[in-house]
Structure 1
Amino acid sequence: MRVPAVPSAVLRRVPGLPGLPGRATPGTVLELDLAHGLVTGPPSSPMEALRQRNAPSVRALRDGLRRAASDDDVLGVLVHVGTCPLSLPEADEVADLLADLATSKPVAAWSETYGELGSGMAGYRVALAAHDVWVQPSGAVGLVGVHAAITLVRGALEKVGLEPQFAQRHEFKSAADQLAAREVTDANRTMIQRIADSVLDDTVARVAAARGLAEDDVRAAVAQSPVSARRAHELGLVDHVGYRDEVYAWAHATWTPEAAPAWRPRYVQRYAADDPARRRDALAGLSGASRRRPSVAVVDVGGPIVLGPGQGRQAGADRVCARLRAVGRQDAVKAVVLRVDSPGGSYVASDAIRREVLRLRESGRPVVASMGSVAASGGYFVAMPADEVVAQPTTLTGSIGVLAGKVVVAGLLDRVGVVQESVDAGDRAGMLSGTRAFTDEEWRVLDDWLDEVYDDFTRKAAHDRAMPWEELEPHARGRVWTGADAHQRGLVDHLGGSRLALRRAAELADLDPDDVHVLGTSPLDLLARLKPAESSESPAAAAAVPLLDTGLVGAGPEALLHRAAAALGVAVPHGVLSLPWGITVR
């Protein structure tokens, strides 16, 4: 089908379509500004897309830096680390891409500071990929280590008349501890300590390798951190101390050949958008032609896993399963990368997604799971059936376990003068009601169900990972592992990011990994995205995204609890297969 000519002024305004026109101008210096964050998945709403307009995406970085490697008009890359609001796995994703480019182009990283008194580990890990690392004279390098706080709010809940009632399988499945426990358990403390130690070990090894230092010297620097810019230079943690204008003047003098044309800074994402190959792919997507080219499809599972289509940053099972079925019907899709960045959630929803992943494999298409910052509990459930699983060393994963329960609000309602009376038709109709406690019989039912789910989870994990159940189960029990520790225990296959996952998917499908066509989240033409879905089998069902995110988690006492927990800074489980806590290491 011949694609009709479309004015470029119109194409520039099509959401998701790369900008027009463009090629690199001689003397181009690419800029990467991480102060705006990093887009790792599709926006959950138009407002989120608007907020992300200045943030580079992983795909834009991957495409732009790969193109720059062979572009003689590009002199090098300047990375502004800044506040760098990235998790460690996200930082490592960026660092991996920069390290690839650094084999053919000069890369320099600069920041006003790598942490101001506090930790700057994420930003500094990005800077380690550069040939030259700069810091402002008034700045510092904050390799302070890892701090993880455990907050228990049962006492506060009881003061207002709330009674948490939860059970879990097993001792490490501590998601409900924040609400239900009166003190930190030994198992929880052991687990979090090991995560902190693993992250620090990985950071020390990275710094030592990148900066040519002994690991003992790096640990000594950690003990002294945060260190001033001058001291960081003495310790070999940075190469130069200077302000932004000095960084740019140095790069101009160092990278620009004699008699070169004017120096032109340009953001990596804008340079990537002007790639003629991306424009051809985008135009082909308007006609559906891109779906005829042998491709690797990327399917996102981002946010809490829930039943139904989901809303906002939720991985709705209906939408994810529809997307997996849609790519499975495309002959041109030869492999799939399942990009998982989820703390888990619903057991039933996770199982439905797992089933569709297995069906893709049965169709002869290899599936590679790529873990983001977190792929734990339900997030691990959907990743484990893949042919191969890829995680960053600091990804939080595992948490093979289950929890369930409720918060009884009867005391609170009584204190504020609310009278609520229930009428049940059925012995267990009100079992999960928040207005009364569990009976002994209901506790027995709950315990039996938890045992059944845990047995199902662990046996499916053992099957998917080709391990005897007796070998896998000690690594389950609800315990969260870093990607590095999970790799040692056979829970993941490779350490790396989405770049490695795409390469492995292409190789498993006998495609050229250096020239693979990648289909994004919704490989549909523009009109198909706007049409209502004809059925659950319609590709449009996979592209349906709620226009508005209300931010509500439900009605009734549960919504109140979630809002109160958010105000206290406490993570509340989104389902029976949930990560034990919210932890972000920067």
Structure 2
Amino acid sequence: MKNFLKKILIIIGAITLLEIIVAIGVGVYFFLIYKEEVPDKTFIELDFEKGFTEYVPDDPTARMISGKVVTIRDVVEALERASGDDQIKGVIARIGSVPMGFARIQEIRDAILNFRQKGKTAIAYTDTFGEFGPGNRAYYLATAFEEICLQPSGDIGLTGLILETRFMKGTLDKLGVIPRMDHRHEYKNAMNIFTEKEYTAPHKEAVCKVMESLFGQIVKEIARTRELSEEDVRSLADHGLFLGQEAVNAKLADKLAYQDEVYEDVKKNTGRNTHFLSLSDYLNLAGRVHTEGETIALIYGVGGVQRGESDYNPLYGDVAMGAKTVTDAFQAATEDDAVRAIVFRVSSPGGSYVASDSIWRETVRAKAAGKPVIVSMGDVAGSGGYFVAMNADKIVAHPATITGSIGVLAGKMVTSGFWDKLGISWDDVSTSSNAAIWTGTHDYTSEEWNLLEGALDRIYADFTSKVAQGRGLPIEYVSEIAKGRIWTGEDAKELGLVDELGGFPLAIRLAKEAAEIPEDAEICLKVFPKKKPLLEVLLEKGPFGAEEKASASAAIRVLHELQPMIQAVRELAIKDESKVLSMPKIEIR
């Protein structure tokens, strides 16, 4: 292990030296070759086929597998930078399938529309919006662009929304598994997929309200941007499928064209020397916004809430919001004298009650320390995702954000019938009366069930009272709008559960207001917790002994001490350090 560690440290040292050499070489190359950082007559290329993620945690697996993942914040900040860049003439986007929630789509739509307001061109093209499948999300996003080009063989599947729920009670009955669960209250419907065979009346009421709200938002925006009436859009959705020229005739698309024809038209209109630059490469060349000025902390709370550290599943790309990671981030931001306010980006369906409460506590402490907290909600911020947000000075949600779900559920699956079918028997011994309360081989006794019910009552009372306190609402009113019910951000604003509708830019503006930073002042958006060097992260998570960790820690301290010199070399070579880390790919098509 020691020899292996020595080799690792030698490699790290070599990489550090190489980094300095590359910084100088690549920096000089850029200085000599790119006198203008972004070429004139440039279009930024966007590709929505893979979607854009909300956040990737500081995890070694995430870093190695995901690489430089483009996030929602990257898109918003690149478009904000480009909107004031004279070298950028427009954006051109490939939109086919869009694997993102409606709130993330709305964040990007707003950024595109703001970009267009600065006199920039925005063109969307696709081979199809659906192809024998729903194309609602992709088409909704495309309508933010001034021109929509559809491949002649393509179609637009504007078919309206349908929400489907899979119920598994029949399967559990066949297996001999009994779900023994309870909730607070009737709208807390996550357990229904195990206990019911169809929607209960409250369950159906809640999902229908959400569906109608989402569809109303889509209809309104399509009508506005395509210059149609809302009645026309609803009628078109009833028609459902538009093939090629039918889509153009219905004013859903502007023209039929293949990808090469779309690019050819851009060059005809802008000039044969038009450049095309990916969003990542544009950020590398132009640099980010919000890098200088008064400091505002940005903390991410993404994924299911759990105790411990934030986590990443490389197989599915799922992120978990770890209470320790997030509370450490809040504490660091609160203790940082330079931080004037905190923007807390939440996208979470909930999870652990105690973990959510730990994070909630840090929002209370941050505010008490004079650091305003502004929550910006993503696709979903419900249950524990709302719990961590409810004490913020201001809560900003997208109209399509799924939020609320102020409630709790718990229980277990009783599997004794299943084991009987397999001919497997269980026996046990225990020391105490309620030792079997959590095992699936026993049903609850009456005493155990009373304990579970008492826990649900306590959690629900705590949740609703903290909502009332944080939102400044009467507890009686909170009790009426809670009951585990989900709402869209649009409806939640009317109910007082959120304050404003919007995305990152609005949350930043509200943070500046709360911190009494002048509206026109520059700000530095600083992410907490600060990312650690990869070796340090691997060391923390790897199977190293105390001696190996001590040796590696000493080496890491040396590397940290070298960072100012490396940074100084970078800044001498080129203004923005991100520009020496990757070569931009500039194409003339």
CA contact (8 A) 2:124 2:147 kept: yes
- 1:373-452 maps to which residues of 2 (within 5 A)? 373-452=379-458
Contact 2:184 2:456 in 1 (8 A): yes
The equivalent of 1:110 in structure 2 is 125
Corresponding residue number in structure 1 for 2:573? none
User: What is residue 331 of structure 2 aligned with on the other side?
Assistant: 325
Aligned residue in 2 for 1:253: 268
Deviations 1:11-45 (A, max 9, x none): 999xxxxxx98821122211011112102112474
Superposition RMSD on alpha carbons, in Å?
2.6
Q: 1:80 to 1:461 in 2, by over 3 A?
A: same
Distance 1:529 1:483, change over 3 A: farther
Aligned pairs for 1:8-407 (under 5 A) are 9=22, 23-43=37-57, 45-49=59-63, 52-53=66-67, 56-104=70-118, 105-256=120-271, 262-276=273-287, 294-312=294-312, 313-407=319-413
The aligned residue for residue 583 of structure 1 is: none
The residue that corresponds to 1:582 in the other structure is none
Greater helix share, 1 or 2? Answer: 2
Distance 1:137 1:368, change over 3 A: same
Deviation digits for residues 154-203 of structure 1, max 9, x if unmatched? 12112122211000011100111111224421110111111111111111
Question: Deviation string for 1:326-357 (max 9, x for gaps)?
Answer: 11111111111111111001111111110101
Retained in 2: the 8 A contact 1:118–1:226?
A: no
In structure 2, the CA distance between the partners of 1:126 and 1:277, relative to structure 1 (3 Å rule), is: closer
User: Which residue of 2 is the match for residue 284 of structure 1?
Assistant: none
State whether residues 502 and 513 of structure 1, in contact with CA within 8 Å, keep that contact through their aligned partners in structure 2: no
Summarize the Cα distance change of 1:68–1:243 in structure 2 as closer, same or farther, 3 Å threshold.
Answer: same
CA distance in 1, matches of 2:75, 2:248: 29
- More divergent stretch after superposition (424-433 vs 472-481): 424-433
Q: Normalised by the size of structure 2, how large is the TM-score?
A: 0.82
1: distance between equivalents of 2:183 and 2:322? 24
Task: Please say which structure displays the higher CA radius of gyration.
Answer: 2
Alpha carbons of structure 1 residues 524 and 303: separation in structure 2 relative to 1, 3 Å: closer
SS at match of 2:388: helix
Q: Distance in 2 between matches of 1:127 and 1:411?
A: 52
1:574 aligned partner: none
Cα pair 2:298 2:528 within 8 Å, conserved? yes
Decide whether aligned partners of structure 1 residues 382 and 158 sit closer, same or farther in structure 2, where only a CA change above 3 A counts: same
Query: What are the within-5 Å matches in structure 2 for residues 488-567 of structure 1?
Result: 488-512=494-518, 515-523=522-530, 526=533, 530=537
Give the whole-Å Cα distance in 2 for the aligned partners of 1:416 and 1:12: 69
1:471 alignment partner in structure 2:
477
CA distance in 2, matches of 1:133, 1:355: 47
Residue 337 of structure 2 aligns to a residue in which SS?
Answer: coil
Q: Is the 8 A contact 2:39 2:87 kept in 1?
A: yes
Report how many aligned residue pairs link the two structures.
510
SS of corresponding position for 2:49: helix
Distance in 2, matches of 1:527 and 1:37, equals: 26
From the superposition, tell whether residues 418 and 9 of structure 1 become closer, same or farther in structure 2 (CA, over 3 Å).
farther
1:247 Cα deviation from its structure 2 partner: 1.0
Call closer, same or farther: CA 1:334–1:183 in 2, change over 3 Å: same
Q: Which residue of 2 aligns with 1:545?
A: none
Does the CA-based 8 Å contact 2:112-2:122 persist in structure 1?
yes
Q: Could you say which residue in structure 2 is the equivalent of 1:287?
A: none
2:60 and 2:249 map into 1 onto residues whose CA distance is 48
- Where 1:125 maps in the other structure, the secondary structure is helix
Q: Is the 8 A contact 1:171 1:477 kept in 2?
A: yes
Contact 1:372 1:391 in 2 (8 A): yes
Shift of 1:96: 1.1
The answer to which of 319-328 and 111-120 deviates more is 111-120
Specify every segment of 5 or more residues in structure 1 that has no aligned partner in the other structure, as ranges: 14-19, 282-289, 534-586
1:69 partner letter? S
Q: Structure 1 residues 526, 10: closer, same or farther in 2, change over 3 A?
A: farther
